[in-house]
Amino acid sequence: MPSQKHPFSAKSLQPWLEECGYTEDKVLPNLAIGGRNAAIAGFSQRPFDSRSACVIAMDVTTSPAEDAAACRVTGAPITLLCQQNELLWWKQGPSDQREYLRVPATHLEGFFREHRKDFEPGTIYRAKTIGRFEATYQREFVDLGLMPMVEKEAGEVIERLLLEQVAALRGLLGWPKDLSAEQGQWLVRAVFWLLGAKMLHDKSVDGFIRLDFGDVDQVFERVARHYGQSAESIITSQKKRQALQYAANNIAQRADLRLATTEALAYVYENTLISREVRKELGTHSTPAYLVDYIVGRLSPWIEEIPSDQRYVYEPACGHAGFLVAAVRLLTSLLPTEQATPPHRRAYLRERIQGSDVDSFALEIARLSLTLTDIPNPNGWKLKQDDAFASDLLESAASGSRILLANPPFEKIEPARRDAYTRQFRAPQFVSQAAEILHRAISALPSGGVFGVVVPQNLLHSSDATAFRRMLTDKAEFEEICLFPDKMFNFADVESGILIGRKVGDASGGKKLVRYRRVREGEATAFRSSYAVTGEITVPMSRFAESESCDFRVPDLEEVWASCAQLPKLEDFVEIGQGFSFIGEDQPGFPKGQKRTSPTPKEGFVKGFENLGDDVMSHQLPPTTYLNMAEEIILRPRAGNTTGVPQVLLNEAPVQRGPWCVKAMIDLIGRPATTRFTLMRPNGGGYHLKNLWALINSTFAAAFAHTHSTKRDILTGTWRGHACAFGLIR
């Protein structure tokens, strides 16, 4: 171990930190932080940013508390402050700091000997990343909420900077607030290139260290050269040149972006760069960084088992390339030290990272993101513009990969697009875009290949995706299925989940035990910060192949429902059906001059139930209206147009998001009801409506409905086929 030869200061800690692994290539000396100067900033790997930041060593200049607070922005969990003859170890948290330990300067040798393993760059990096969901990598002094919060705040800074410059450019160019698509894309592209130049400059990349932001032509020429693209479409007039010069000067004078991560750009991409029209047309919903980290982290043990020369990664529908950025970091961290240096890893990564997307602008952001992740190396990434439904790129790219990462569009393939793809390439097999993309890609993935994908929850049970699920039960094994509530994506109001698995080539995956996790709405925030879940059980992979539909759903309270499996089903003694649905009044088949409902009696109209209404109690009935029962305007009658048969009405959509989601009511007259109701009618055997009503309003039924429903519907088929124990009471 080194000896203390120099006066005690932060700089004198360098030999001790070097013994811990912070060699010259992992250190930024004299890092400016909030008007202060950190003698040593130690990182796990390049690029140097808040993700790879591990330790900051600084002399106290104001007070320990103030100096420690200033260091939080770096994202380094360890702050070592030198004051007089003491070393002050401060622990950084997402919102505050606290002193962790005081060490006399005379005890440094023993201190660093004791903590050498804990302080190693790889140990800290794994604690910040994988430690968020693998307890074995956690360290008590590494706060798991620090890195996500620092990245979010950095993203907000970049977002404000981008929006300010976009507004300034629009004003200088005299463009209206309601921009054309061409104007909007030009504005965002131009400002994003300027932001890229700022980040490359602040991170001291060759060619940008002495970049003159006062010469906007030089700025765009340098960025274009680094990205391997042309800047000709950006500065197309003197007016644009003058406006961009103003923006370049503003950006040059703003906050230092040296430690900003590529992941911070994901925040900007999701919140700022995707227009409402693009979201609707392409189904774009950017994958948040915390979910990318979770999926890639869960896959990392399997990825480590793949030989390093075979770690080929493909992300279809890659958007801003969030998964590919994470893959670049992971693959770099798995390389031997001598091969992980920028010159050596450049060709290795560019040969193994591939993405595709139909959106050319998203691919431009992806190139920027990947290039900033692999600083100081320039572009050269394999990113292709491609419509996945109009070519065989999915199959060719996946077949040459061993790692598939994806968050595909959740929307349906509309009939017009389906017809176009049928003429242009071939007919899609599925209605769901996600099912189509993932079925083709995972089918093509070689045996031993691993996948981590985000899916809409309806893929776990919908009839449209049955063939997709059957392929997975036959050819794959799951490590984990995790389900999420809606709003896990900022602009996608849909319940989602993730599938983490591996191709096995045959049905041997059925022997695998699957970690099945669920995050309810109340725990969504906790999952984002620490990956805490509402519930977790282990189930055999073989259970998913037991039914013809290969249903991947596992309800909460699984042990309860399993214990009731041999009891009579609800459909054994009750007829269960959904209400009828009208043809939409805006549809071509709707008869001219007809109305679906009327507040007053009319010929052909029958008093019935259209919706549940507000604040209806279970001992009451929903409000009535007059329903048009003409056959020509009813799309599907189901059980809803039957009249005169006493019944129990219950809501199709949950009445609340919590467990008490069912409200059953007795209708002794037997009126017609629309699709917003499930209708139950005893089929004889001495069962009474009041007993049925009481059972459906019971705690047991509420638990059943809550654990088997989605946020939108308690499916009629679920009641019919899965509810149990109701037949015991007459």
Q: Distance between CA 182 and CA 476 in Å, rounded?
A: 44
Query: What's the token pair of residue 3?
Result: 């000896």
Residue in 517, 514, 454, 512 with CA at minimum distance from that of residue 482: 517
CA dihedral angle for residue 453, residue 454, residue 456, residue 459, rounded to 10 degrees: 10
360: number of CA atoms within 13 Å, CB side? 5
Q: Distance between CA 422 and CA 406 in Å, rounded?
A: 24
- Within 612-728, residue ranges assigned H as helices are 689-696, 699-708, 716-722
Reported pTM: 0.84
CA-based R_g, the chain, Å: 30
Q: Distance between CA 314 and CA 331 in Å, rounded?
A: 13
Coil, helix or strand at residue 669: coil
Place of tokens 């991409």: 269
Judged on CB neighbours under 10 Å (0-12, 13-18, 19+), 175 is middle
Query: Which residues make beta-bridge pairs with 624?
Result: 609
Q: Kindly state the helix (H) or strand (E) to which residue 482 belongs, with its residue range.
A: strand 476-484
Amino acid at 665: M
Amino acid at 14: Q
pLDDT number for residue 285: 56
Neighbours of 491 (CB within 10 A): 13
Place of tokens 């959904």: 578
Coil, helix or strand at residue 715: coil
Place of tokens 């290139």: 193
Q: Kindly state the helix (H) or strand (E) to which residue 615 belongs, with its residue range.
A: none
Q: Distance between CA 679 and CA 644 in Å, rounded?
A: 13
Cis omega (within 30 of 0) for bond into 376: yes
Neighbours of 102 (CB within 10 A): 12
Give the DSSP letter of residue 39: E
Coil, helix or strand at residue 497: strand
What are the residues whose beta carbons fall under 8 Å from the beta carbon of 224, sequence distance 6 or more? 230, 231
Helix, strand and coil in the chain, % to nearest 5: 45, 20, 35
Give the DSSP letter of residue 506: S
Residue in 157, 156, 247, 260 with CA at minimum distance from that of residue 193: 247
What are the residues whose beta carbons fall under 8 Å from the beta carbon of 263, sequence distance 6 or more? 51, 151, 289, 292, 322, 325
Neighbours of 278 (CB within 10 A): 16
Coil, helix or strand at residue 549: coil
pLDDT number for residue 516: 97
Please provide residue 448's backbone torsions phi and psi, each rounded to the nearest 5 degrees: 95, -15
**What are the average pLDDT values for consecutive 10-residue runs of the chain, which has 730 residues?**
70 96 95 93 92 97 96 96 96 93 95 96 93 89 91 86 89 89 84 90 92 96 89 92 96 90 72 50 66 95 97 96 95 91 94 94 86 89 96 97 96 94 96 98 97 96 96 96 85 84 76 92 88 93 92 90 84 92 90 93 96 93 96 94 95 88 96 96 82 91 88 81 55
How far is CA 201 from each of CA 189, 195, 211, 320, 389, rounded to the nearest angstrom? 18, 10, 7, 22, 40
Coil, helix or strand at residue 171: helix
Q: Distance between CA 47 and CA 317 in Å, rounded?
A: 26
Query: What's the token pair of residue 335?
Result: 């390389």
Query: Please, what is the Cα angle at 357 between 498 and 449, to 5 degrees?
Result: 45
Place of tokens 């996600």: 434
Q: Distance between CA 557 and CA 458 in Å, rounded?
A: 20
Long-range contacts formed by 137-145: CB under 8 A, 24+ apart: 141/77, 141/78, 141/89, 141/91, 141/100, 142/77, 143/77, 143/91, 143/92, 143/93, 143/94, 144/529, 144/530, 145/93, 145/94, 145/529, 145/530
Residue in 656, 455, 657, 458 with CA at minimum distance from that of residue 553: 458
Q: Distance between CA 384 and CA 321 in Å, rounded?
A: 12
Residue in 155, 257, 254, 151 with CA at minimum distance from that of residue 204: 257
Q: Distance between CA 451 and CA 248 in Å, rounded?
A: 42
Question: Edge to edge, what strands does the sheet with 53-59 contain?
Answer: 27-33, 36-43, 53-59, 78-83, 86-92, 97-104
Q: Distance between CA 455 and CA 432 in Å, rounded?
A: 10
Neighbours of 366 (CB within 10 A): 25
CA dihedral angle for residue 334, residue 339, residue 343, residue 347, rounded to 10 degrees: -70
Give the DSSP letter of residue 636: E
Please provide residue 377's backbone torsions phi and psi, each rounded to the nearest 5 degrees: -70, 145
